[in-house]
Amino acid sequence: MSRITVKETADQSEAPKKPKFETVTDSLGRTIQLRQLDPMQQSRLVMGVGGEVSQNSTWMNGFALPAAMVAHIDDDFFGFPSSIKQIEAMLAQLGTDGMAAINEHLLAKYEAAKAEHEKAALSAEQAAAKN
């Protein structure tokens, strides 16, 4: 059987990437900055809430993921949650107004991506019809 050795090395050619935030404002006037969750963060969120809870897609997509995306509310920084209690604390902090602003933002992003996809599909269909 062959043996594989994995070594992590730092690539010196790339500068560290700055985190990118998207900003939304809720009806209370609070500025909420959202982080984009990478696959590692998403997997850590699933591990933090546990396998049984993570299977509840309504709770994960409607509450846990949006709450985990919050990096700042006004000038207050919030780290990445690692438990259900931390997610619930963020949900309490956001309240109805904060969650509504985040959900409206995510819905607008989804609608824009859907429109772009439909436009690309229509262009491909039109190009195929010309041939």
Q: Full-prediction pTM beyond 0.85? A: no
Model pLDDT for residues 85-130, shown as the tens digit of each residue: 999 999 999 999 999 999 999 999 999 999 988 888 877 767 777 7
CA nearest neighbour of 80 among 89, 93, 70, 88: 70
Model pLDDT for residues 25-83, shown as the tens digit of each residue: 999 999 999 999 999 999 999 999 998 999 999 999 999 999 999 999 999 999 999 99
For the chain, the domains span 21-122
Distance (Å, whole) CA 93 – CA 88: 9
Reported as type and span, the H/E element at residue 35 is strand 31-35
Percent of residues in the chain assigned helix, strand, coil, to nearest 5: 55, 10, 30
**Neighbour-count burial of 45, counting CB atoms closer than 10 A to its CB (0-12 exposed, 13-18 middle, 19+ buried):** buried
